[in-house]
Amino acid sequence: MSVDRLLIVDDEEDMLTGLQRTLERNIPGLEVVTSTRGSEALRLMAEQSFDLALLDVMMPEMNGIALLEKLRSKDPELSVVMMTAFASIDLAVDAIKKGAYDFITKPFDKDTILRVIHKGLERNRLVRENVTLKEQVCQKQAFASFIGQSPAMNQFCERLKTVALSDYTVLVRGESGTGKELAARAVHSLSKRRNRPLIMVNCPAIPEQLLESELFGHKRGAFTGAERDYPGLFVEADGGSLCLDEIGDIPVSVQTKLLRVLQEQEVKPLGDTKTRKINVRIIAITNQDLEKKIIDRSFREDLFYRLNVVVLTPPKLLQMRGDIPLLVEHFCRQVCCELGIGEKHFSPEAVTALMGRAWPGNVRELQNVVRQAVLFSADSVISSGDLQFLVPMENRLSEETASWLAASNGSEKVVAYKEAKEDLLQKFKSQYVVRLLQDTEGNVSRAAEISGLTRAALQKIMRRTAIQANSFRNHES
């Protein structure tokens, strides 16, 4: 049996004792916690959760209306019933306006208080269930665009959920076409700020001379053409999130002012002498090498560290190749719906051919290829022949790798999926590390930096593939 927890706050100890005895005897599974002071009630609320609160209005230290507001600010879904011996319509209306669920007058009989408590607990269950369902729907919608079941995708989604629950600044990094903007939107949708605005800003699309005004606002007459006050996007996003897409392209002059906003959490519009406090979560997006831009002084190092609090990196399509069949099926249905045509499907050979590509443009490139294939194919089944002109030659994997993905046309025995995958993975690791060490002339530290792996992880792969860095170094004779 689930336990319901009730908090009763009243400065009359006899009232507390009588209520606790009556309620616990008559409502199975009810745990009653009592307090004579508002400050103690707030401490109890911070330490544990309650399903219902019963508050006296007239108390010396903190009256019940003030306590109601504080409790509701900590838990907006908490059901609260007010009780008083000095009832008035104005008092009842004020309590209801400030979030009370019900209002009863003293003295009350046993049946009345039991009925009120039962109704309050039932309301609490319905409210909590509704909140849970909304969160589940919100989470489902947030991840609707992330198609895939690969370890790389699952790990990314778990990390994204964890990041969203915090209120830290987020830097979304990664290659073009990996879904960085989708990730930014998902962070906001899963956060506590989801009911507040998400303002998306495409930084390169705004001329440099207007970007400062667009972000921070301006006063009328601040510059030619400023015919009215404009609050700016930071103010519009107050309480919500501001997503700065392509943050690496922001001019240094604007970077300086952006840094101050992040440090002080306040904005000063152009032409104004006053600042305004804001509460905005920053989500920045880039596909650029910001560390390199710091070296060439086109990006401020202090701003980088302000933005680089929590990093999200959507996986490349190369890292989630096993999800390509799911992605192809999803995009195919989507395109057929957009075009208003009957269902089309990709043949197994066509899907295999798509899995044999390198996809430098990642998921976006795959989506565009599927669009073209569906659009130009005359048949309901799209064959591998329909794809030959859609993917450049340089986007194809080696013949050896592609042959393993070809799922055999009868010329060789089809092995178990796990075995084939493991064999292909080992060959890929070997080929990749060889190429990596060739390019770095056996410099393991540099190779690890280029690959994005730690030195220890790269050395582990080298041991398993029996590759020695010494073989790639130039030795003086």
DSSP 102: E
For residues 271 and 230, the answer to whether their CB atoms sit within 8 Å is: no
| Maximum average pLDDT range among 200-214, 289-303, 453-467 | 289-303
What value does the mean pLDDT of the chain take?
Answer: 85
pLDDT digits (tens, 9 = 90+) for 12-31: 888 888 889 999 889 888 99
Residue for token pair 């616990």: 24
State residue 156's pLDDT score.
92
State residue 124's pLDDT score.
84
Q: Report the candidate in 258, 265, 264, 223 with the shortest Cα–Cα distance to residue 244.
A: 258
Across the range 34-46, mean pLDDT stands at 89
423-429-431 Cα angle (round to 5):
100
Q: Report the candidate in 90, 42, 46 with the shortest Cα–Cα distance to residue 66.
A: 42
In this predicted structure, the answer to whether residue 143 has a pLDDT above a threshold of 70 is no
pLDDT digits (tens, 9 = 90+) for 387-435: 877 766 555 555 445 554 544 333 345 556 666 667 677 777 877 888 8
Neighbour tally for 73: CB within 10 Å: 10
pTM above 0.85, yes or no: no
Percent of the chain that is helix, strand, coil (3-state, to 5):
55, 15, 35
In this predicted structure, the answer to whether residue 471 has a pLDDT above a threshold of 50 is yes
Distance CA 413, CA 225 (A): 73
Exposed / middle / buried, residue 147 (Cβ in 10 Å: 0-12, 13-18, 19+) = middle
Model confidence at 140, pLDDT cuts 50, 70, 90, reads: low
For residues 290 and 151, the answer to whether their CB atoms sit within 8 Å is: no
For residues 304 and 258, the answer to whether their CB atoms sit within 8 Å is: no
Distance of CA 207 to CAs 198, 203, 225, 251, 373, Å?
22, 8, 15, 10, 37
Distance of CA 415 to CAs 185, 398, 418, Å?
41, 20, 8
SS3 (DSSP) at 138? helix
Neighbour tally for 236: CB within 10 Å: 15
pLDDT digits (tens, 9 = 90+) for 200-242: 999 989 988 789 899 999 988 888 888 899 999 999 999 999 9
Across the range 76-80, mean pLDDT stands at 86
DSSP 453: -
Distance of CA 148 to CAs 51, 132, 210, 226, 275, Å?
39, 25, 40, 48, 46
Residue 242, both tokens: 């501001």
DSSP string, 244-307: EETGGGS-HHHHHHHHHHHHHSEE--BT-S--EE---EEEEEE-S-HHHHHHTTSS-HHHHHHH
pLDDT digits (tens, 9 = 90+) for 318-361: 888 888 998 999 999 999 999 999 999 999 888 888 888 888 88
State residue 281's pLDDT score.
96
